[in-house]
Structure 1
Amino acid sequence: MSSKFRFSTAGESHGESLVAMVSGLPAGVPVVQEVVDRELWRRQQGYGRGGRMRIERDKAHILSGVRHGKTIGSPIAMTLANNDWKNWGEILPVEEGDAAKHKAVASPRPGHADLAGSLKYDFKDARYVLERASARESAARVACGAMAKLLLRELGIEVASHTVRVGGQELGRDAAWPEIVASCAREEVLLNCVDPEAEARMKSEVDRALRTGDTIGGVFEVVVHGLPPGVGTHVNWDERMDGLLAQAVMSLQAVKAVELGRGVTAAESMGSTVHDAIAYAEEGENEPEDGGPKFTRFSREKNNAGGIEGGISNGEDIVVRGYLKPISTLRRPLGSVSFATREPVKAAYERSDVCVVPAAGVAAEAMVALTIAGLVIDKFGGDSLREMKRNFDGYAEQIRKF
């Protein structure tokens, strides 16, 4: 993460609210409440979501760092109220409270942080581990990511996601940027797949999991469009864009693998079919059909690298895939052990989802946007948006003339 640009979250799944903080955004970035809240709404959508999403109506309450609709350069603090708190206030009070009302998680769930966290923090049940390890925390990340997106948008950089696989059913082709944008703009999210026929097949996978009391995972893809070449660096291991993106997406709950470009299939292919051949066009030739930015006359025939070479953006779309395991809370629980008796029991069950692939894609958009925003701030600097734009435009002119 950038040395200047930082974000953090606080709060528990059933606590009073989530807290999100963003520091390091330049002054003058327009902040549109509806844009932030729509990102939060998108995270709550998708076929296979559980009952919690019928309770919560996430909206960001901005406390600081934004005045008269623009950032002012100071840290931005936001809260996201948990509507479910009214049912948990006496169960999870800040003060000591009534121990008889505590709802223990008495048997750890395989695949969750329950057991490892309880051992680490010396808890005799997994309640407090569950409360913070829950993917409910990702809502606060999405609020932070919305702020990063608002900055990137001012520079012509966009971030969006779509679903490429649910269970055994996959899209089976590359998605064009306009398709991804259109899918993200839909009011009925379903599974956020750009192809209706593939989406119907994915839906059947979710239905099968639902019927059997199981859960199902999948793969989402996040694309960054409009980023110029030269962002990121190869000079230090912990500053490479690919490493930072991998860490950011892997940090999301239930993500177990991250792929940049065609990283997985590249491992089983010959180099001549993997590396993206370079071409050059003179002024007026090979202009982008979508009217988007053209930073350099150098271009690639394909984008197997996913827009990153040597830890640096190369001007093509950044493509990041996250591989999401099935949710670990099952209506048909797996075997576990009682914390109290050490006897074999079934794992604890709390209200949960069946499939969260589209929602995870939105959370990953936030993490990718935050990572890219940090790198952009490091490269172009500027305490105000006007200063940053001047630096950005100057660099764009420089690489156009290269």
Structure 2
Amino acid sequence: MRFLTAGESHGPELNIIVDGIPAGLELLSEDINKDLRRRQGGYGRGGRMKIETDQVIFTGGVRHGKTLGSPISTRVMNNDFKNWEVSMSSHPQDINNPEVKQKIDSKFVSRVRPGHADLAGAIKYSHEDIRNVLERSSARETTSRVVNGAICKKLLSILNITVISYVLRIGSAGIDPNTLSSNYNDLFLKAEASEVRCPDLNISEQMKLAINEARAQGDTLGGSIQVVASGIPVGLGSYIQWDKRLNGRIAGALMSVHTVKSVELGLGKLVSERYGSKVHDQIYIDPNWKGKSLRYKRKSNNAGGIEGGMSNGEPIVFTVATKPIPTLIKPLDSVDIKTKQNTQAHFERSDICVVPAAGVVLEAMMSYVLADVILEKFGGDNIKDLLDNYNDYLNKCYQR
């Protein structure tokens, strides 16, 4: 399967096309809107979230609440476009009209922001106005990813696969992941009750204080997030070719999210500090095996659910580090590409911390990869065929 997105941050709408979803999947707008609401939430978000009330509109591929097997086309309207109709118009504008010229000039950007796509994008695409770069490179684009991810989550749900996330750290306030329960559903419910999506309510308050301090200083904060997929069967991905390895495919998808700077699977970088005997997960025969589950169990999950490029039946666990966003209330030193002078970076209305929202986007990207590899392995033009193929495979695995 594949998905494509289009649209600018302050354009009229975002467009998303998802191709490859089998026919017969029950799909309602609310299945997507609930994740769009989660993306817009979180302590530390900016004023834009008070303007936008993101809701998906199906324009193709769904009829009477079920997918048709054809591409699913959707759109999400940008409420803020009414304030940008002239400066973001797709039609040529009369710059001899003083009012029109003033509106366009007021949105012109030539002072680049360190840490953003501004400078490299302006040079690569030969833009004089950095507005042409930042409108598409903006994290507003992640709205489209959440739409796609929510559709993929719906597909995964019929296979009893779930993808969740929770925040481990914001700035200096963090929780030791080794102290967390392995009951991922419980962690998720606790995280959803927190404004910063952290499963520890005491640490949540510390995170909010850290965000408040950053705001007072005109600064921003990043953090770390754990993303977990449960209910995964053995054998997704492959060791046959490098680009078929599941760990690489998921890691690449997670790294593609705007704010992400590092991705770790299972123990991650800690494996470099330990003996092999303390890293690799020992295997045993489940004494309670009754033929309706995998008889092979592991005493730990340091591998993060993937060995040799394939899922091993344990939960898939990635830890992702995100940078502080590069748009600061107190701008950093930078340059003006129009005047060729040293100056301060441009400030665009933005957030203080996007870590809680980033988790929702990371869920979407992991869900997309998992849905993709499942459809590769089990096929099915319709949901019934997919379920038949999937359940037949599980039964064969259980008898090994």
Q: What SS class does the counterpart of residue 230 from structure 1 fall into?
A: strand
Using the TM superposition, give the Cα deviation of residue 97 of structure 1 relative to its aligned residue in structure 2, in angstroms.
Answer: 1.2
- Counterpart CA distance in 1 for 2:7 and 2:190 is 31
Is the 1:229–1:295 contact (alpha carbons within 8 Å) kept by the matching residues of 2? no
Q: What SS class does the counterpart of residue 231 from structure 1 fall into?
A: strand
Using the TM superposition, give the Cα deviation of residue 47 of structure 1 relative to its aligned residue in structure 2, in angstroms.
Answer: 0.3
- Residue 205 of structure 1 aligns with which residue? 210
- Residue 349 of structure 2 aligns with which residue? 351
Query: Which 4+ runs in 1 deviate beyond 3 A?
Result: 183-186, 282-285
- Per the normalisation by structure 1, the TM-score is 0.94
- CA-atom RMSD in angstroms: 1.3
Question: 2:246 matched to 1:250?
Answer: no
- Counterpart CA distance in 1 for 2:7 and 2:33 is 19
Residue ranges of structure 1 left out of the alignment (5+ in a row):
288-293
- Counterpart CA distance in 2 for 1:372 and 1:104 is 41
1:160-239 → structure 2 map (5 Å cutoff): 160-172=164-176, 173-175=179-181, 176-183=183-190, 185-186=192-193, 189-239=194-244
- Counterpart CA distance in 2 for 1:283 and 1:397 is 17
Aligned AA (2:309): G
Using the TM superposition, give the Cα deviation of residue 284 of structure 1 relative to its aligned residue in structure 2, in angstroms.
Answer: 4.3
1:1-400 → structure 2 map (5 Å cutoff): 5-99=1-95, 100=101, 101-102=103-104, 103-172=107-176, 173-175=179-181, 176-183=183-190, 185-186=192-193, 189-284=194-289, 295-400=293-398
- Counterpart CA distance in 2 for 1:295 and 1:165 is 35
- Counterpart CA distance in 1 for 2:186 and 2:139 is 28
- Counterpart CA distance in 2 for 1:228 and 1:295 is 10
Residue identity over aligned pairs, in percent, reads 45
Is the 2:31–2:151 contact (alpha carbons within 8 Å) kept by the matching residues of 1? no
Aligned AA (1:126): I
- Residue 291 of structure 1 aligns with which residue? none
- Counterpart CA distance in 2 for 1:122 and 1:91 is 19
Is the 1:29–1:70 contact (alpha carbons within 8 Å) kept by the matching residues of 2? yes
Is the 2:167–2:191 contact (alpha carbons within 8 Å) kept by the matching residues of 1? no
- Residue 290 of structure 1 aligns with which residue? none
- Counterpart CA distance in 2 for 1:206 and 1:98 is 44
Is the 1:43–1:359 contact (alpha carbons within 8 Å) kept by the matching residues of 2? yes
Q: What SS class does the counterpart of residue 118 from structure 1 fall into?
A: helix
* 1:235-274 per-position Cα deviation (integer Å, ceiling 9, x unaligned): 1111110000111000000111111111111122211111
- Counterpart CA distance in 2 for 1:284 and 1:334 is 60
Using the TM superposition, give the Cα deviation of residue 149 of structure 1 relative to its aligned residue in structure 2, in angstroms.
Answer: 0.4
- Counterpart CA distance in 1 for 2:263 and 2:47 is 29
Is the 1:160–1:180 contact (alpha carbons within 8 Å) kept by the matching residues of 2? no
- Count of residue pairs the alignment pairs up: 389
Residue ranges of structure 2 left out of the alignment (5+ in a row):
96-100
